[in-house]
Amino acid sequence: MDNVVKNFSGLTAVSNVSMHLDTNELVALIGPNGAGKTTLFNLLTGVIPVSSGSIVLNSDSGTYPLNGKPAYTIAKMGLSRTFQNIRLFKDLTVMENVLIAMTSKVKEGFIPTIFRFPSYYKTEKQLAEKAKQLLEIFELENDTDVLAKNLPYGTQRKLEIVRALATEPQILFLDEPAAGMNPEETAELTQLIIKVQRKFHITILLIEHDMSLVMNLAQRIYVLDHGSLLAKGTPAEIQSNPAVIKAYLGEEVD
Ligand SMILES: Nc1ncnc2c1ncn2[C@@H]1O[C@H](COP(=O)(O)OP(=O)(O)OP(=O)(O)O)[C@@H](O)[C@H]1O
């Protein structure tokens, strides 16, 4: 993204932010409350339009502008996300939640679907098999028939990530994946994110307040403060950056 600005009637939530993600990178976006992190995710995934600036996806087949594209088009281009608040279908089972997320990829035509021809069952069976494989990675394979609302909170967050992965993304945006998790769950999630990134060769950008997760996971970190980019660098560089420490702790450091 190059020089991206987002104004909300008088308030500049994102101010001239430029950043990039390289293929297969795991990058964290951090910053104090209200810094503009979620707004940036909403811009990247087409939930809201930019006020100015550009966002592009570079791939082997060319360069594609993302700004101005609706969220479903961006999702189809291979950018998937989770939200800060859990957005599962609470009254559906774990398996149903994953299958629904997958259906955007199904090429099955209308007629076989309506009349339930053999090809329909084949597709459904293939999808269920794939969903099961994903659920196994997250150790949810024994919970396929459990209603989402009956899962413990930390498990619901894991299911959100499974749903985002079900669309086979190239880039995954995780908005506070460890929010509300205890230290044990956070440590488990950290390992899972590493595993998923390696297994599927995806690029990940994550927003997170839990510094243990950020410092253990991220190859690079961007720091936002009051809508502007305050710092960027490796975890070691960010941890010792006086401006970052000041933004977090509200005091000067020597
Ligand atoms: N739709 C909106 N209309 C008006 N102002 C908004 C809107 N969305 C966000 N803002 C404002 O933009 C600023 C950045 O908010 P944002 O949610 O992006 O911050 P954040 O870094 O994600 O914060 P947190 O860590 O608390 O989630 C805040 O001042 C917020 O009130």
Give this complex's ipTM: 0.95
On the CB side of 46, CA atoms within 13 Å amount to 18
Is the C-beta atom of 169 inside 6 A of ligand 1?
A: no
Task: Show Cβ contacts of residue 71 under 8 Å, excluding neighbours closer than 6 positions.
Answer: 45, 46, 47
Query: Whose alpha carbon is nearest atom 18 of ligand 1?
Result: 36
Contact indicator for 222, 41 with CB cutoff of 8 Å: no
In this prediction, the residues of the chain whose per-residue pLDDT falls under 50 are 106-108, 252-254
Alpha carbon 249 to chain centroid, angstroms: 27
The Å distance, Cα 180 to ligand 1 centre, comes to 19
Query: Whose alpha carbon is nearest atom 10 of ligand 1?
Result: 13
Closest Cα to residue 79, out of 89, 65, 93?
65
Alpha carbon distance 30, 32 (integer Å)? 7
Q: What is the pLDDT of residue 59?
A: 86
Q: What is the pLDDT of residue 40?
A: 96
Q: How is 36-54 classified by DSSP, letter by letter?
A: SHHHHHHHHTTSS--SEEE
Report pLDDT digits (tens) over 132-185: 999 999 999 999 999 999 999 889 999 999 999 998 899 999 999 998 888 999
Q: What is the pLDDT of residue 231?
A: 96
Query: Whose alpha carbon is nearest atom 5 of ligand 1?
Result: 8
Q: What is the pLDDT of residue 212?
A: 85
Q: What is the pLDDT of residue 122?
A: 59
Closest Cα to residue 224, out of 48, 41, 69?
41
Query: Whose alpha carbon is nearest atom 9 of ligand 1?
Result: 39
Is the C-beta atom of 13 inside 6 A of ligand 1?
A: yes
Query: Whose alpha carbon is nearest atom 14 of ligand 1?
Result: 36
The total of other beta-carbon atoms located within 10 Å of residue 142's CB is: 10
Report the b/e string of 91-113 with b at 16+ CB within 10 A: eebbbbbbbebbeeeeeeeeeee
Report the nearest atom of ligand 1 relative to the CA of 227.
14
Report the nearest atom of ligand 1 relative to the CA of 36.
18
Domains within the chain, CATH numbers bracketed? 1-79+193-208+218-254 (3.40.50.300), 87-168 (3.40.50.300)
Helix (H, G, I), strand (E, B), or coil: what is residue 97? Answer: helix
Helix (H, G, I), strand (E, B), or coil: what is residue 215? Answer: helix
Q: Which of 9, 38, 230 to mutate to test the pocket of ligand 1 (most atoms within 8 A of CB)?
A: 38
